[in-house]
């Protein structure tokens, strides 16, 4: 069974390895370490037997939270891990005074879109050519 907890510097290597697998423009280990050193970022990990199986993060500006990444190891997808990570991240945000959350998602990423809708996010607009590798539009989704 996995547990959800705040990300620590010790998790940065495993998180960056997952990031390399699942994102076209991945953050480095150092980028995660730099984010963790700032109070405006919040990251959560799902850990099972000392192994990170998923993570998500948020950057806060005033009372808004921008969800920066959500990733779950491929063999653990569709098992509720991402939804639980998102719930915990939103719970942390509420404690920090966040009242609205936003994120961008590839228009072709049906699985992620379903996840975000399940978590209460709604599509509000499209950002043309937001992604570059490959080039693709993004839905901008909000949870208010």
Long-range own/partner contacts, residues 59-64 (CB < 8 A, 24 or more apart) = 59/35, 60/93, 60/96, 60/98, 63/97, 63/98, 63/99, 63/100, 64/98, 64/99, 64/100, 64/101, 64/102
Q: Residue 70's beta-bridge partner residues?
A: 56
Active site amino acids? 104, 116
């Amino acid at each position: 069974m996995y547990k959800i907890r705040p990300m620590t510097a010790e998790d940065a290597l495993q998180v960056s390895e997952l990031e390399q697998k699942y994102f076209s423009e991945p953050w480095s280990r150092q980028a995660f370490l730099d984010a963790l050193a700032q109070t405006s970022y919040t990251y959560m990990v799902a850990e099972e037997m000392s192994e990170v199986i998923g993570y998500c993060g948020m950057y806060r500006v005033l009372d808004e939270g921008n969800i920066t990444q959500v990733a779950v190891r491929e063999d653990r997808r569709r098992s509720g891990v991402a939804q639980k990570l998102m719930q915990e991240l939103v719970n942390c945000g509420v404690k920090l005074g966040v009242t609205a959350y936003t994120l961008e998602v590839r228009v072709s990423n049906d699985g992620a879109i379903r996840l975000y809708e399940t978590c209460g996010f709604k599509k509000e607009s499209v950002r043309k050519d937001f992604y570059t590798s490959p080039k693709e539009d993004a839905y901008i989704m909000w949870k208010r």
